Protein backbone atom coordinates (compact mmCIF):
# COMPACT_ATOMS: atom_id res chain seq x y z
CA UNK A 1 0.00 0.00 0.00
CA UNK A 2 1.18 3.48 -0.87
CA UNK A 3 -0.17 6.72 0.58
CA UNK A 4 -0.55 10.14 -1.01
CA UNK A 5 -1.30 13.46 0.64
CA UNK A 6 -3.29 16.36 -0.86
CA UNK A 7 -3.65 19.23 1.57
CA UNK A 8 -3.64 23.02 1.92
CA UNK A 9 -1.65 25.05 4.41
CA UNK A 10 -1.33 28.65 5.40
CA UNK A 11 2.01 30.25 4.60
CA UNK A 12 3.01 29.67 8.22
CA UNK A 13 2.29 25.93 7.96
CA UNK A 14 -1.13 25.49 9.55
CA UNK A 15 -3.83 23.23 8.11
CA UNK A 16 -6.65 24.55 10.30
CA UNK A 17 -7.32 27.07 13.00
CA UNK A 18 -6.82 25.84 16.57
CA UNK A 19 -10.53 24.92 16.76
CA UNK A 20 -10.33 22.98 13.47
CA UNK A 21 -12.06 25.72 11.46
CA UNK A 22 -11.21 25.92 7.75
CA UNK A 23 -12.93 29.20 6.86
CA UNK A 24 -9.66 30.68 5.59
CA UNK A 25 -9.57 28.07 2.78
CA UNK A 26 -12.60 29.49 1.01
CA UNK A 27 -11.86 31.67 -2.00
CA UNK A 28 -15.20 33.01 -3.25
CA UNK A 29 -13.54 34.54 -6.33
CA UNK A 30 -12.41 31.15 -7.64
CA UNK A 31 -15.82 29.61 -8.33
CA UNK A 32 -15.60 25.90 -9.04
CA UNK A 33 -11.81 25.54 -9.35
CA UNK A 34 -10.75 22.26 -7.72
CA UNK A 35 -6.98 22.85 -7.90
CA UNK A 36 -6.38 19.31 -9.19
CA UNK A 37 -8.34 17.57 -6.45
CA UNK A 38 -10.57 15.70 -8.93
CA UNK A 39 -7.58 14.30 -10.81
CA UNK A 40 -5.95 13.40 -7.51
CA UNK A 41 -9.08 11.55 -6.36
CA UNK A 42 -9.00 9.58 -9.62
CA UNK A 43 -5.53 8.36 -8.64
CA UNK A 44 -6.49 6.86 -5.26
CA UNK A 45 -8.62 3.88 -4.30
CA UNK A 46 -9.54 4.79 -0.72
CA UNK A 47 -9.45 7.65 1.79
CA UNK A 48 -7.97 7.47 5.29
CA UNK A 49 -8.45 10.28 7.81
CA UNK A 50 -8.07 10.74 11.52
CA UNK A 51 -10.95 11.26 13.90
CA UNK A 52 -10.53 15.05 14.14
CA UNK A 53 -10.50 15.47 10.37
CA UNK A 54 -13.59 13.32 10.07
CA UNK A 55 -15.45 15.46 12.58
CA UNK A 56 -14.78 18.48 10.35
CA UNK A 57 -15.62 16.87 6.96
CA UNK A 58 -18.69 14.93 8.11
CA UNK A 59 -20.70 18.12 8.40
CA UNK A 60 -19.64 19.57 5.03
CA UNK A 61 -22.42 20.54 2.66
CA UNK A 62 -21.17 18.10 0.03
CA UNK A 63 -19.19 14.87 0.23
CA UNK A 64 -15.93 15.43 -1.69
CA UNK A 65 -14.75 11.83 -1.62
CA UNK A 66 -17.06 10.35 -4.27
CA UNK A 67 -17.78 6.68 -3.69
CA UNK A 68 -14.28 5.87 -2.51
CA UNK A 69 -14.05 3.60 0.51
CA UNK A 70 -13.60 5.99 3.44
CA UNK A 71 -11.82 4.98 6.65
CA UNK A 72 -11.57 6.87 9.92
CA UNK A 73 -8.72 5.95 12.25
CA UNK A 74 -10.14 6.02 15.75
CA UNK A 75 -10.19 3.90 18.88
CA UNK A 76 -13.69 5.17 19.72
CA UNK A 77 -16.94 4.27 18.01
CA UNK A 78 -18.22 6.69 15.39
CA UNK A 79 -21.62 8.29 15.57
CA UNK A 80 -22.42 8.32 11.86
CA UNK A 81 -25.24 10.29 10.29
CA UNK A 82 -27.56 8.18 8.12
CA UNK A 83 -26.12 9.45 4.83
CA UNK A 84 -22.62 8.22 5.80
CA UNK A 85 -23.42 4.83 7.36
CA UNK A 86 -22.71 2.90 4.15
CA UNK A 87 -19.72 5.05 3.16
CA UNK A 88 -17.57 5.27 6.28
CA UNK A 89 -15.76 2.57 8.23
CA UNK A 90 -13.82 2.95 11.47
CA UNK A 91 -10.43 1.24 11.77
CA UNK A 92 -8.12 1.06 14.75
CA UNK A 93 -4.70 -0.35 15.43
CA UNK A 94 -1.17 0.44 14.40
CA UNK A 95 -0.33 1.91 11.01
CA UNK A 96 1.35 -1.41 10.14
CA UNK A 97 -1.93 -3.17 10.95
CA UNK A 98 -3.89 -0.66 8.84
CA UNK A 99 -1.43 -1.11 5.96
CA UNK A 100 -1.80 -4.90 6.12
CA UNK A 101 -5.59 -4.50 6.07
CA UNK A 102 -5.41 -2.50 2.83
CA UNK A 103 -2.90 -4.92 1.31
CA UNK A 104 -5.28 -7.82 2.03
CA UNK A 105 -8.13 -5.91 0.36
CA UNK A 106 -5.97 -5.21 -2.70
CA UNK A 107 -5.96 -1.45 -2.10
CA UNK A 108 -2.80 -0.05 -3.66
CA UNK A 109 -3.00 3.72 -3.16
CA UNK A 110 -4.79 5.67 -0.42
CA UNK A 111 -5.38 9.36 0.17
CA UNK A 112 -4.30 10.27 3.70
CA UNK A 113 -5.63 13.44 5.33
CA UNK A 114 -5.34 15.08 8.73
CA UNK A 115 -2.18 16.32 10.41
CA UNK A 116 -1.69 13.52 12.96
CA UNK A 117 -2.61 10.82 10.44
CA UNK A 118 -0.25 12.20 7.81
CA UNK A 119 2.58 12.26 10.37
CA UNK A 120 1.86 8.62 11.35
CA UNK A 121 2.01 7.50 7.73
CA UNK A 122 5.20 9.51 7.16
CA UNK A 123 6.84 7.93 10.24
CA UNK A 124 5.88 4.49 8.90
CA UNK A 125 7.48 5.28 5.52
CA UNK A 126 4.21 4.78 3.61
CA UNK A 127 3.78 8.23 2.01
CA UNK A 128 5.01 8.38 -1.59
CA UNK A 129 3.88 11.91 -2.47
CA UNK A 130 2.77 15.15 -0.85
CA UNK A 131 0.74 17.72 -2.77
CA UNK A 132 0.67 20.87 -0.68
CA UNK A 133 -1.22 23.99 -1.69
CA UNK A 134 0.08 27.03 0.17
CA UNK A 135 -2.27 29.96 0.65
CA UNK A 136 -0.94 33.49 1.08
CA UNK A 137 -2.30 33.94 4.58
CA UNK A 138 -0.63 33.94 7.99
CA UNK A 139 -2.83 32.41 10.68
CA UNK A 140 -0.35 32.90 13.50
CA UNK A 141 -1.51 29.76 15.28
CA UNK A 142 -3.48 26.63 14.56
CA UNK A 143 -3.02 22.97 13.79
CA UNK A 144 0.35 22.35 12.20
CA UNK A 145 0.79 20.04 9.23
CA UNK A 146 4.17 18.82 10.33
CA UNK A 147 5.66 17.94 13.66
CA UNK A 148 7.55 14.86 14.76
CA UNK A 149 7.92 12.64 11.70
CA UNK A 150 10.55 10.41 13.25
CA UNK A 151 13.60 11.98 11.63
CA UNK A 152 14.62 13.68 8.43
CA UNK A 153 12.64 12.84 5.31
CA UNK A 154 14.05 14.02 2.00
CA UNK A 155 11.63 15.38 -0.58
CA UNK A 156 12.09 15.94 -4.29
CA UNK A 157 10.00 18.62 -5.98
CA UNK A 158 8.03 16.98 -8.81
CA UNK A 159 6.35 20.18 -9.96
CA UNK A 160 4.93 23.45 -8.73
CA UNK A 161 2.04 25.53 -10.04
CA UNK A 162 0.95 29.03 -9.13
CA UNK A 163 -2.64 30.19 -9.44
CA UNK A 164 -3.92 33.70 -10.19
CA UNK A 165 -5.20 34.09 -6.61
CA UNK A 166 -1.69 33.64 -5.21
CA UNK A 167 -2.09 30.01 -4.18
CA UNK A 168 0.96 27.86 -4.90
CA UNK A 169 0.68 24.10 -5.24
CA UNK A 170 3.77 21.92 -5.02
CA UNK A 171 3.98 18.18 -5.41
CA UNK A 172 6.84 16.40 -3.72
CA UNK A 173 8.03 12.84 -4.06
CA UNK A 174 9.10 11.35 -0.76
CA UNK A 175 12.65 10.07 -0.78
CA UNK A 176 14.56 7.85 1.55
CA UNK A 177 15.39 8.74 5.09
CA UNK A 178 19.06 9.75 5.47
128-145 mean pLDDT: 96
d(CA 59, CA 75): 21
71 neighbors 48 (Cβ within 8 angstroms)? yes
d(CA 147, CA 131): 17
| CATH number, residue 96 | 3.40.430.10
Average pLDDT of the chain to the nearest whole number: 89
Q: What are phi and psi of 28, to 5 degrees?
A: -60, -20
143 has which bridge partners?
16
Give the per-residue pLDDT at 25.
Answer: 86
Q: Provide the whole-model pTM.
A: 0.91
Encode pLDDT of 41-80 as tens digits. 999 999 999 998 898 888 777 778 888 999 999 988 888 8
139-154 mean pLDDT: 91
Closest CA to 166 of 143, 141, 138, 137: 137
Encode pLDDT of 33-43 as tens digits. 788 999 999 99
For residue 97, give its domain range. Answer: 2-23+31-174
Q: By mean pLDDT, which of 57-66, 76-85, 98-107, 121-130 is the weakest?
A: 57-66
Closest CA to 161 of 150, 146, 173, 171: 171
Instruction: State the total domains in the chain.
Output: 1
Amino acid sequence: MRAAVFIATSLDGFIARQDGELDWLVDPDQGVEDYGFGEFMDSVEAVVVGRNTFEVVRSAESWSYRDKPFFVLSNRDLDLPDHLRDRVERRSGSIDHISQYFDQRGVDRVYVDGGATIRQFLRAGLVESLTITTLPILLGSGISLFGDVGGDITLQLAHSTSFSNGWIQSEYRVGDRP
